[in-house]
Amino acid sequence: MHEMALAESVVGIVEDYARRECVKRVRTVRLEIGRLSNVELDAIRFCFDAVTRGGVADSAMLDIEEVPGTGWCMRCAVQVPLAAMLDVCPRCGGCEVTVTGGTEMRVKELEVE
């Protein structure tokens, strides 16, 4: 399950920030996770709870904002919404679509004490 490694990376970012800024407790971690990132949201929540125990983010709320998938259709020359990586263009049905968004995962914001 790659979500455990992702949760550990997020906690590493949070703990580095907390050390650098002398933060005693992190109350909320806000993530942006793209719909095309292959991250299972329930799994990342479970893993986050597991890896934050005993640390500066223990009992922190994990707030996840899903970023929609988008792509550029070569035929239509427009950006189109994508539900999956290999979706065809919803306008023309063509397969010449390059993914342009929705694959990211990033720490967007921290609420701290």
Domains of the chain: 2-112 (3.30.2320.80)
Give mean pLDDT, residues 29-46: 97
pLDDT at 1: 60
| Span 98-112, pLDDT tens digits | 999 999 999 999 999
Please report which confidence band the pLDDT of residue 44 belongs to, taking 50, 70 and 90 as the band edges.
very high
| Span 47-81, pLDDT tens digits | 999 999 999 999 999 999 999 999 999 999 999 99
Beta strand 61-67 pairing with 26-34: parallel
